Amino acid sequence: MNGINEMVWNFAKELVLHAKDSFKKVSPVVYKERMEICLSCPALNQESKRCEFCGCFMVVKAGWRSSRCADPESPKWHKKEEEKKNDQG
């Protein structure tokens, strides 16, 4: 997992993107899909629910519309989500 400084930096970047997106959240359906993907990902610490790529708590990050999967080689959340942006605000 990333060091504390990197985790704080990654969270700060995500928070800025979330703010720029007016703090919009994904729909419950998209959130559930994202969490199912994360829970099956080997990069997720199952105990803390933190991503080993970015260090974020995925139970929070998965709910933010602006968030993307942090896997640098093979992001797990798909572009189809963009079509589902008829999400709640």
pLDDT in tens, 57-71: 999 999 999 999 999
pLDDT in tens, 4-49: 898 899 999 999 999 999 999 999 999 999 999 999 999 999 999 9
* CA 76 – CA 53 distance, rounded (Å): 12
pTM of the model: 0.81
Q: Where are the beta strands (DSSP E) in 1-89?
A: 44-45, 50-51
Q: Tell me the DSSP string of the chain.
A: ---HHHHHHHHHHHHHHHHHTTT-B--HHHHHHHHHHHHT-TTEETTTTEETTT--BHHHHTTBTT-----SSS-SS-THHHHT-----
